[in-house]
Amino acid sequence: MKYSMRKESVSTFFIALVGLLFLLTGCVSKEQPISVASEQASAQPSPTTVSSPAVQSSLPMERESSTILVELTDSGFSPAFITIKAGQTVKFENNGAAKRWPASDVHPVHSSYPGSGIRKCKTAASGSIFDACRGLDNGEAFAFTFNEKGTWHYHDHLDPGTKGTVTVE
C-alpha cells in the first residue's frame, strides 16, 4: 500500500516532469521557428540591400546609357525640357491622339543638330539623325541617342509650334 502510494507519487512526479519538459521544449520549439523566421526576415532585407547597391551602381551607368522617356501628348512634349548626359538615348513616345513628328530645329530643314537634316530622311542616314522622318501614331516611338553636347531645340514637324529642348552635358 505504502509502496503503491509512493509509486503513484513518483509517477505523477514523472508526469509533471515530462509535462514540464514538454512545456519547455514547446516553448523552445516555439521560439526556434520565430528565430528562424526573424533570421529569414533579416535575410530578406539583405538581398534588398544587396540589390540596392546594384541599383545604385547601375545609376552611374544609367546616366550614360539609359533611355529617357519624353511623352508626346496632345498638349505637347512632356517633359519639354530635359538635361541628359552625352551618349544617352531619348525615346519620344506618342501617347496622344494626333500624329507627332519629333525633329531637330529649325523647321522646316531640321539641321540644328549636327549631321541632321530633313533631306537625309529618304537616305540611309535616316536612322541616325535627330528626326523621326515621319508622323508617329499613338503608341509609336522614335528613339535618338545624343552624342553631341549642347542645347538642342526640337519641334513637332506636323505642328511646329510644339517645341522641346534637350540639353546634353
- Quote the least distance from Cβ 121 to Cu ion, whole Å: 11
Q: Which of 107, 134, 153, 163 binds Cu ion (CB under 5 A)?
A: 107
Report, in Å, the least distance between residue 68 CB and Cu ion.
Answer: 22
Instruction: Name which position in 60, 108, 114, 150 contacts Cu ion (CB under 5 A).
Output: 108
Out of 77, 157, 166, 168, the residue judged to bind Cu ion by CB under 5 A: 157
* CA 121 vs CA 97, 103, 138, 140: distances in Å: 24, 11, 21, 18
CB atoms within 10 A of CB 119: 13
Question: Kindly report the CA angle at 78 between 122 and 118, in degrees rounded to 5?
Answer: 15
In 3D space, the residue among 104, 112, 69 whose CA is nearest the CA of residue 88 turns out to be 69
State the minimum distance, in angstroms, from the CB of residue 42 to Cu ion. 58
> What residues line the site for Cu ion (CB under 5 A)?
107-108, 157
